[in-house]
Amino acid sequence: MPSVSKAQIQAQDDAVYQAIIGEEKRQKEGLELIASENYVSPAILEALGSVFTNKYSEGYPGKRYYGGQTFTDQVEALAIERAKKIFGADHVNVQPLSGAPANVAAYFAVLEPGDTVLGMDLSHGGHLTHGHPVTYIAKLYNFIRYKTTAEGLIDYEEIERMAREHKPKLILVGYSAYSREIDYERIKKIADEVGALTMADIAHIAGLIAAGEMNNPVPIFDLVTTTTHKTLRGPRGGMIMCKAHLAKAVDKSVFPGFQGGPHENNIAAKAIAFGEVMTDDYKKYAQQIRKNAKVMEEELRNLGFKLMFGGTDNHLLLIDVTSKGATGKEAEWALDEAGITVNKNMIPDDPRSPMDPSGIRIGTPAMTTRGMKEDEMRQVSKWINEAILGKDDPTTLERIKNEVKEMCERFPVPGIE
């Protein structure tokens, strides 16, 4: 695959150049299993470094505060129209700088201070921006948090009970570590019964939804937020989709309510990513993500790991590693030493702390982008088991690292020579 040139960086700033080269080497020689990470195409990398970086463009296409907006308007309108077509959205705002700002702007669009929001508990697969007490947004709104069942599944009856009791202004679904499908129609029915608005945060699964591999909440819900990276395989950024009657409120909430000038270089990259999503190759890619995740589910279960939520319907797995004599922190470190990058993660009702939890979270999007399939997933699962069991044996970890590097040489990373 073509590589993006770094000649100017090398000539001007060697310290930064060396850091970039080091990161390229890490990505090229190791396995990326962090469920929220992926590799963008060389075209997206080029767009991020394009002359759109130079341009201020507060406002929206056709309604800017500065002159010289002919081409920023073109590229932003293109990103909007492509996203609307992909997801079946009435209205799209592509200016949010990331997923968390998108969520906050969505709240500001429809809520008043003190309003009640019903969302999922972080420890059961939710996200910080869904009302965790450590966030500032939790000081502004009254977040009520639901949990999964003892079997690790969304408890729709409990959501219905809590909605009737607390009468939320907004019911929120969408998760950062939950691996099962979501019944959006049922959530919508509950919301309608209590007069609540509906919001879905599909940051992790947007790419699978776009390819028709998972249920699509956009035609059903009032608000849908997402990142544009992760499974969508675009640049790091955010996006809000909504029903037509909320369009003006959402746009005013993003700008001038919450953000200043949009990053048009990033929006150009979003437009390219959405163009890639609309191809048959992308649909095959999304299908392979799920196939790879199911193979890892089977292999890891056979190796004796306890899988949260009973397995996966999407791209990720949340795994309890304590039965292997390790904590999530220890497992993350050992796998990193073996050339396999994961993140430590709390499991439902975890007795341990977030910085040293009981589990790890893994995902298949990045490996699938490199062209890895079922056979590679089986081997990676074996390496995960060996590395965690051998966390105190440097020889074992070094052997695995060399084997990982050898396999990675057969599967290039886009944009890296």
Do residues 31 and 370 touch, judged by C-beta distance below 8 A?
A: no
Tell me the CATH number at 397: 3.90.1150.10
Do residues 326 and 388 touch, judged by C-beta distance below 8 A?
A: yes
- The C-alpha atoms of residue 251 and residue 356 are separated, in whole angstroms, by 40
Tell me the CATH number at 102: 3.40.640.10
* pLDDT tens track, the chain, 417 positions: 566 678 999 999 999 999 999 999 999 999 999 999 999 999 999 999 999 999 999 999 999 999 999 999 999 999 999 999 999 999 999 999 999 999 999 999 999 999 999 998 877 677 778 878 888 988 999 999 988 886 778 899 999 999 999 999 999 998 888 899 999 999 999 999 999 999 999 999 999 999 999 999 999 999 999 999 999 999 999 999 999 999 999 999 999 999 999 999 999 999 999 999 999 999 999 999 999 999 999 999 999 999 998 999 999 999 999 999 999 999 999 999 999 999 999 898 899 999 999 999 999 999 999 999 999 999 999 999 999 999 999 999 999 999 999 999 999 999 997
Q: Domain for residue 23, yes or no?
A: no
pLDDT in the model for residue 2: 61
- Residue 297 and residue 267 in one domain: no
- Residue 319 and residue 388 in one domain: yes
pLDDT in the model for residue 1: 54
- Residue 262 and residue 294 in one domain: no
In single-letter form, the type of residue at position 384 comes to: I
> What is the tally of structural domains in the chain?
2
Q: Which residues are the active-site residues?
A: 56, 58, 201, 227, 230, 236
- Residue 248 and residue 109 in one domain: yes
- The C-alpha atoms of residue 273 and residue 42 are separated, in whole angstroms, by 11
- Residue 273 and residue 294 in one domain: no
192 Cβ neighbours under 8 A, 6+ residues apart: none
Q: Domain for residue 133, yes or no?
A: yes
Q: Domain for residue 95, yes or no?
A: yes
Helix (H, G, I), strand (E, B) or coil at 286: helix
Q: Domain for residue 184, yes or no?
A: yes
- Residue 191 and residue 60 in one domain: yes
pLDDT in the model for residue 150: 67
Instruction: Please give the model's pTM, rounded to 2 decimal places.
Output: 0.95
Q: Domain for residue 171, yes or no?
A: yes
pLDDT in the model for residue 352: 94
Q: Which domain holds residue 376?
A: 290-408
Helix (H, G, I), strand (E, B) or coil at 65: coil
Q: Domain for residue 146, yes or no?
A: yes
- Residue 260 and residue 390 in one domain: no
Last residue of a domain, one of 277, 299, 314: 277
Q: Domain for residue 183, yes or no?
A: yes
Task: Please name the residue ranges forming H helices in 62-134.
Answer: 70-87, 99-110
- Residue 160 and residue 79 in one domain: yes
Q: Domain for residue 371, yes or no?
A: yes
- Residue 312 and residue 241 in one domain: no
303 Cβ neighbours under 8 A, 6+ residues apart: 381, 382, 385
Residues constituting the chain = 417
- Residue 272 and residue 308 in one domain: no
Q: Which residues of 127-155 are buried (b: 16+ CB within 10 A; e: fewer)?
A: bebbbbeebebbebbbbbbbbbeeebebb
- Residue 268 and residue 366 in one domain: no
pLDDT in the model for residue 147: 85
- Residue 212 and residue 263 in one domain: yes
Q: Peptide bond before 256: cis, by omega within 30 degrees of 0? A: yes
